[in-house]
Amino acid sequence: MTQSPEGRVKVGGCLELKIAMNIFMVYRMPKNIKGFVKCFEEVFIMKKLISILGIFLLNLFILTSLSFAQHSHGGMSMGTPMKMDTKEVLVEGVKVTFQMMANDEHRKMLKDMKMKEDIEPGTTHNITVTLKEEKSRKEITNAQINMKVIDPKGKDQIKALKYEEMMKSYDAYFNLPEKGKYQVMILFKMGDQKKTAGIYYEIK
């Protein structure tokens, strides 16, 4: 902002010009030009402060949203990284996500999320499955799922997965005590449709 020899104030932006014109209606006498300049400067500074405050609040909102997202079953809990293996497969328009977590880690996650659930005795891992429609990305919450886990020696375990309303997922506990490659397969039924999906999970 500069002052011309005639005593007029020049401003760069349209908003500042409107503000200047409104203020000038009050301080339009030449003897009040100093008051006009001072008042305009105060309004301009206030505008800058409001902009800075807006940016601060936006950053605070983003950080809060990220913190909330860390409570999900996707691998973070209360800001603490969870050791979880996640694999996804696409089966006839349905995205199937497998999440494998050792019971110790799963117990920590449940405690952080203040969820009460008894770890099944004689098991080592929790295996969770989520189903989503590929196009709409909508969770499928009314499926019936059976899972088979085959260990490196060929021995299998078969269980029906339980639906967790809070997580919008299905899970069960399995015993995976040995190192090696496990085959994890599901048969899920949605209405009259039946589909299968599977992955390999290796414990090193």
Which pLDDT tens digit goes with each residue over 12-66?
Answer: 445 555 665 565 555 454 455 555 556 555 655 665 656 665 665 555 555 444 4
Report yes or no on 51 lying in a domain. Answer: yes
Judge whether 38 and 1 are in contact, CB under 8 Å: no
CA distances to 99, 112, 162, 167, 169 from 116, rounded to whole Å, are 20, 10, 15, 13, 16
> SS3 of 173, please?
strand
Identify the pLDDT of residue 147: 98
What is the CB-side half-sphere exposure of residue 87 using CA atoms within 13 A? 14
Indicate the pTM of the whole model: 0.61
Report yes or no on 178 lying in a domain. Answer: yes
**Which of 37, 69, 101 finishes a domain?**
69
Q: Considering only CA atoms, give the Rg of the chain.
A: 31
**Which of 69, 104, 125 finishes a domain?**
69
**DSSP H or E run through 152:** none
Report yes or no on 55 lying in a domain. Answer: yes
Do 6 and 43 lie in a common domain?
A: yes
Report yes or no on 27 lying in a domain. Answer: yes
Do 87 and 166 lie in a common domain?
A: yes
Do 16 and 90 lie in a common domain?
A: no
42 vs 103, more confident: 103
Report yes or no on 75 lying in a domain. Answer: no
The least confident of 25-34, 123-132, 144-153 is: 25-34
Identify the pLDDT of residue 78: 41
What's the domain count of the chain? 2
> SS3 of 70, please?
coil
Judge whether 101 and 129 are in contact, CB under 8 Å: no
Q: What gap in Å lies between CA 115 and CA 191, rounded to an integer?
A: 30
Q: Beta strands 193-203 and 169-174: pairing type?
A: unpaired
200 vs 82, more confident: 200
pLDDT bin (cut points 50, 70, 90) of residue 197 is: very high
User: Residue 19: which domain range?
Assistant: 2-69
CB < 8 Å & 24+ apart, contacts of 131-136:
131/94, 131/95, 131/96, 131/97, 131/170, 131/188, 132/94, 132/95, 132/97, 133/93, 133/94, 133/95, 134/90, 134/93, 134/94, 134/95, 135/93
CB atoms inside a 10 Å sphere around CB 17:
13
49 vs 129, more confident: 129
Report yes or no on 11 lying in a domain. Answer: yes
CA distances to 42, 57, 76, 97, 193 from 169, rounded to whole Å, are 56, 34, 16, 10, 19
Do 62 and 87 lie in a common domain?
A: no
pLDDT bin (cut points 50, 70, 90) of residue 198 is: very high
